[in-house]
Structure 1
């Protein structure tokens, strides 16, 4: 019997190396070590944990530690990741965000539930998070001054390309009107200390602002995230008719390129270094006194190296009240910015990301943003 089980385990392992099965069916993490023997898909350990909560739909086993019967192996062989994708992802809208293994739990869980539990993408009807071009609902928004989260009505409208929020549900005038094409929305569970925390960053008067919101229902907050992506995609299809779908998708809400603390000095030689929270979003390097601040204290535009932007490592002595010595200089056509990082590893991480940004040629739209920065 042990010989038969050894052979069955070997057979399952061979199936996991079959084309299409070498990555998790739900998040793409390489070398999945689990499988759902009712759905016929191979899974990473994290997505497997989510599948365990769908016990009526998905039953999972370890590829290496569990006992595999012949009929289950045959089922896996007959199905597999590619077949499941063709079935359960047949009508995923082009704007819909497909989570990776780097994404937070709520995004991954709702992607898995949308596919297998709600069967949201098996039919074209019902797959859209933004039907009719309007989404309205209550989200809990963090107060700018007191940090309390209070219920606010939000309205997303495709026709006028705006996201609005109201202090009271019955209010006629919105507290803020946000242009949809300036928005980036990113899930921030760690920073916000809420599993469903969503940061909405937008630009008004050429300055970055943040809203921090959540909803207790994971399905609803992910639906808002994808509705924002849908509204942006449709807006940009009209605004930029010659742009390809691929180009537009690159501009939709996505994780920030990098965030973290650095010290920054001002333009004068006598200016002291101050610790700030930095967020790199596309070509905008924003800095805040606190990670949950609504307004950026300042911003640096990162153009391209062919337009005179340069980044390099610097050794900065403790002569300007700086605590950290691992320095970075960013040279723009207007001035040089100096920063320090706590460790050499963190400095190298920032430099690599800055260099990646400035190595990309600027678009026509980014030249317009650069001009706005210059005329501040």
Structure 2
């Protein structure tokens, strides 16, 4: 009877708004609880808590003693956040339910093990407070799959990220960083994207240490946040934080034909960057440089997307067609499966339905170029601007 009563109490507690989502990733209807910390968590986050020797039980399946239930009643997610998340910097990325494991793991360790955000500890990495970070990352070669060690230097003062190898020196705006463990085939894989000579380019890096790669990620976010505060001095955190870094709305292979729609279809890797309203395509998923980019406006500006069956298809292996129409031309793509076709249609329609902002019009017109120099004195191979030059001038 005691166990049934306690189970009923816990099920009522987890229905309360502050407890109805995982304390760490926000997943709905958490079924587990850490009775050491007093928080309700999802199955995935419960495994991380268990690895920290945090005492974890299932709400529904395990036996709960009276004193543990009383502790859960007196604590809960809201009270725990007031302690463990008292001083989370606005730029620090709070992982969501579907984010990769390394982000959730390090978020939980930072909160409860290292006590980074309680407002008292002196632990937070210096990169977050000094705006400077340097170290070694494994970087994929531009033309092959070989990863080599490279020294990276992040400077918030200069709004730059550099890496060292050759004697070329580039200025690059519009930096973005996103975790891509599956694409890079490493649990700590990070994709860094930037603009160079009118092209979107990618760097693929990783670090053996989960803590170190997340420090790099949040250090880049800290520098981006500082840039945005400078570029948009009246912007609120609510406006600026979503602009720091972004995950891509949809990625995957599609077949693409040429402007006459009579050319042979070729398989390409596509990335839909919804924040910048761009559909980029590459020869392969780990290519360093884009082959092309399609701006996605709104229907009122002459853009549309729909299913299609191409009339002059040649060389295509896949049968599920998509047509993207812009004021300049029509683009025809083929998906392997109907499920992929529907996912791409839904993702593209999300971008189409979002009103254009002034920044969107500027981004469509802008042709960012890199400042390329050859020098014998400077040894950074690349220097990436953390923000855009145009924004710094506004």
Which residue of the partner structure matches residue 192 of structure 1?
A: 184
1:142 to 115, 140, 143: 140
Decide whether the 8 Å contact of 2:280 with 2:292 is kept in 1: yes
- 1: distance between equivalents of 2:355 and 2:368? 18
The corresponding residue for 1:33 is 31
> Contact 1:163–1:177 at 8 Å: present in 2 too?
no
Question: Do structure 1's residue 104 and structure 2's residue 100 form an aligned pair?
Answer: yes
CA contact (8 A) 1:318 1:325 kept: no
After TM superposition, the runs of 4+ consecutive aligned structure 1 residues lying more than 3 A away are: 124-129, 173-179, 372-375
Q: Residue in 1 aligned with 2:224?
A: 232
Shift, 1:249, TM fit: 1.6
Conserved 8 A contact 2:265-2:313: no
Q: What pairs with 1:155-304 in structure 2 (closer than 5 Å)?
A: 155-167=153-165, 176-179=170-173, 182-282=174-274, 283-304=277-298
Partner secondary structure for residue 112 of structure 2: helix
Of 1, 4, 8, the residue aligned with 2:2 is: 4
Shift of 1:317: 5.5
CA–CA distance in 2 between the matches of 1:174 and 1:33? Answer: 54
What is the CA–CA distance in structure 1 between the aligned matches of 2:268 and 2:16, rounded to whole Å?
48
The 1:38/1:262 distance shift into structure 2, 3 A limit, reads same
Structure 1 residues not aligned, in runs of 5+: none
- Structure 2, unmatched stretches of 5+, are 370-394
Q: Distance in 1 between matches of 2:20 and 2:235?
A: 34
- What SS is found at the alignment partner of 2:344? helix
Q: 1:227 to 1:374 in 2, by over 3 A?
A: closer
State the secondary structure of the residue aligned to 2:227.
helix
**Contact 2:262–2:313 (Cα < 8 Å) also in 1:** no
Mapped partners of 1:52, 1:356: distance in 2: 39
Q: Of the candidates 282, 293, 302, which is equivalent to residue 308 of structure 1? A: 302
SS at match of 1:227: helix
CA distance in structure 2 between the aligned counterparts of 1:160 and 1:285, rounded to whole angstroms: 30
Tell me which moved more, 189-198 or 18-27.
18-27
8 Å contact kept, 1:314–1:328: yes
| Equivalent-residue separation in structure 2 for 1:217 and 1:374 (angstroms) | 35
> Normalization by structure 2: what TM-score?
0.88
Aligned to 2:244, the other structure's residue is in SS state: coil
Q: Deviations over 1:320-363 (max 9, x none)?
A: 21122211111111111111111222112111111111222222
Deviation at 1:284, TM superposition (A): 1.6
Deviations 1:274-328 (A, max 9, x none): 1111111131211111111111111111122232211111123673211222111
What are the superposed Cα offsets for residues 28-87 of structure 1, whole Å, 9 maximum, x if unpaired?
A: 1111111101100011110000011110xx210111111110000000000000001111
Change (3 A) 1:42 1:318: farther
Task: State the TM-score, normalizing by the size of structure 1.
Answer: 0.92
Length, aligned pairs only: 365
